[in-house]
Amino acid sequence: MMSSVSRPRSRSRSPSNNANANANLQDSADLDQPATGPSPIITTIGAVRVAHHNPTTQEPSHTTFHAAQQSAPSPPVVENGQDQEADDDDDEDEDDGEEQEQPVQLTTVDGGDGTPVDESQFLADIADDVPELDMTHCRLENMSLLGLERFHSLQRLGMRQNLFTKIQGVAGLAPTLVELDLYDNRISKFDPVAPLINLELLDLSFNKIKRIPEGVLHGMAKLRDLYFVANKISVIENLDGLDSLRSLELGANRIRVRLTLLYLPMILCRKSQTLTTCPRSSNSGSGKNKITSLAGLAALPSLTLLSIQSNRIVDLAGLEALVNLEELYMSHNGVLKIDHLHNNTKLRVLDLCNNRIEKLENVGHLVELEELWISNNKLESWEDVEQQTKTLPKLETIYLEGNPLQRSAGATYRIKVKTLVPQVKQIDATFVRM
């Protein structure tokens, strides 16, 4: 099954000072999963290889077609919040002995000899009722010539790493389409399309989009995951009505704004310069941007994860309304003081590494906190560490390295942390011996 390239996965925490920080934006696609059940018979329809099950076994209702890649190039990586290649949902359903259809791994559709692709005939021999099409790295240029509207059962459409400049020909897929992946194309203008009313995932990362026009996402009330990583967007706007949005990724853009974050589940805005508004979501990531304040997400009450690493935020004002926030990643900013967290009592992970914080304060009420990352700041007081952590019974991981208090403690640093914070099981990158 196709999934988004830059989709943040389950938030098992990775260090913010690690190259694989916060927003796990790139899963690796596994094209070599062992097949279960009888081996499919491979036949060729035009340039596309299709698998059919042996007729002696139960016939699957649909076949999944992957028109693509033997050796597609790796996508670019976003520093400090890397982009993630999608991992195929290769978990096969085990329906009590029923033979399950196997995903088809296809060769390159252009024959591998560099000859031009006849886009009008590219999918001519594919059945109308396939649930998935994956046309990754096929050098396609004109979406409207593919005749996509005839695929009346299509749920997932993958067209990453092609040469498309416009989104065309998908309006007829509105009744069934759930995922649309256009990662790494040349799309410069995001024109309004007929509402894809059932769309849950839209990935337009690594394109050339400069703005999100008004009405372009109108009617996509079921959209949960929206990815615009590595475009040229300067203002976050026109996301109203996306009541189901839980993950919005805007890393590596040109956003430089006031990030009023109050209602977003996960907005990832790496390398940007202007974030103004981001309505209702559940996760938010904004790493490597130039966001200067948290003031624009007040329309995203379901937000559970917010990632705004590598920006220019100095003040945490605006977090108060994120009452459902569970994970906050704000490393590599210019935060001077820990405050405005009085309503964020559901926080489990707090990452404030690589800021300018001089005092550990205002976290003692976060009784659900499991991980506190505050390395490479300007903390000097061991007394503050003891006072703020003694009321955190669930705290298991603490990162304090790179602060003046570590340097002052010298070789006794770990012993001191363990003495003052006896409940922790991990100090910096090392587990505590019990």
**Positive or negative torsion for Cα 413, 415, 418, 420:** negative
Q: What is the CA radius of gyration of the chain?
A: 24
Q: Which tokens in the block code for residue 98?
A: 């029923």
Give the lowest-confidence range in 98-107, 281-290, 333-342: 98-107
Q: What is the structure's pLDDT at 332?
A: 87
- At residue 305 the predicted structure's pLDDT band, cuts being 50, 70 and 90, is confident
Q: What is the structure's pLDDT at 176?
A: 94
Q: Which tokens in the block code for residue 183?
A: 């990662």
Q: What is the structure's pLDDT at 275?
A: 34
**Positive or negative torsion for Cα 152, 158, 163, 164:** positive
Give me the domains of the chain, ranges plus CATH numbers. Answer: 357-433 (3.80.10.10)
- At residue 154 the predicted structure's pLDDT band, cuts being 50, 70 and 90, is very high
Q: What mean pLDDT, rounded, does the chain reach?
A: 71
Q: What number is the average pLDDT over the span 51-70?
A: 38
Q: List pLDDT tens digits, range 254-289.
A: 654 434 333 333 344 333 333 333 333 334 444 444
Residues 6+ apart with CB under 8 A from 415: none
Give the lowest-confidence range in 117-126, 177-186, 289-298: 289-298
Q: What is the structure's pLDDT at 174?
A: 86
**Positive or negative torsion for Cα 137, 141, 142, 146:** negative
**Residue 58: DSSP 8-state:** P
Q: What is the structure's pLDDT at 296?
A: 52
Q: List pLDDT tens digits, range 66-84.
A: 443 333 333 333 333 333 3
Q: What is the structure's pLDDT at 118?
A: 87
Q: What number is the average pLDDT over the span 314-335?
A: 86
Q: List pLDDT tens digits, range 3-25.
A: 333 333 333 333 333 333 333 33
Q: Are 205 and 192 in contact (CB under 8 A)?
A: no
Residue 63, pLDDT above cutoff 60? no
Q: How many helices (H) and strands (E) does the chain have?
A: 3, 22
Give the lowest-confidence range in 141-155, 167-181, 222-236: 222-236
Residue 129, pLDDT above cutoff 60? yes
Q: List pLDDT tens digits, range 138-153.
A: 999 999 999 999 999 9
Residue 101, pLDDT above cutoff 70? no
Residue 367, pLDDT above cutoff 90? yes
Q: What is the structure's pLDDT at 380?
A: 97
Q: What is the structure's pLDDT at 59?
A: 37
Q: What number is the average pLDDT over the span 162-183?
A: 93
Task: Please tell me which residue, 167 or 63, carries the higher pLDDT value.
Answer: 167
Q: What is the structure's pLDDT at 44?
A: 39
Q: List pLDDT tens digits, range 371-424.
A: 999 999 999 999 999 999 999 999 999 999 999 999 999 999 999 999 999 999
Percent over 90 (pLDDT), the chain: 40
Of 353, 314, 351, 355, residue with least CA distance to 329: 351
Q: Are 70 and 49 in contact (CB under 8 A)?
A: no
Give the lowest-confidence range in 304-308, 345-349, 365-369: 304-308
Q: How far apart are CA 47 and CA 50, in angstroms?
A: 10
Residue 137, pLDDT above cutoff 80? yes
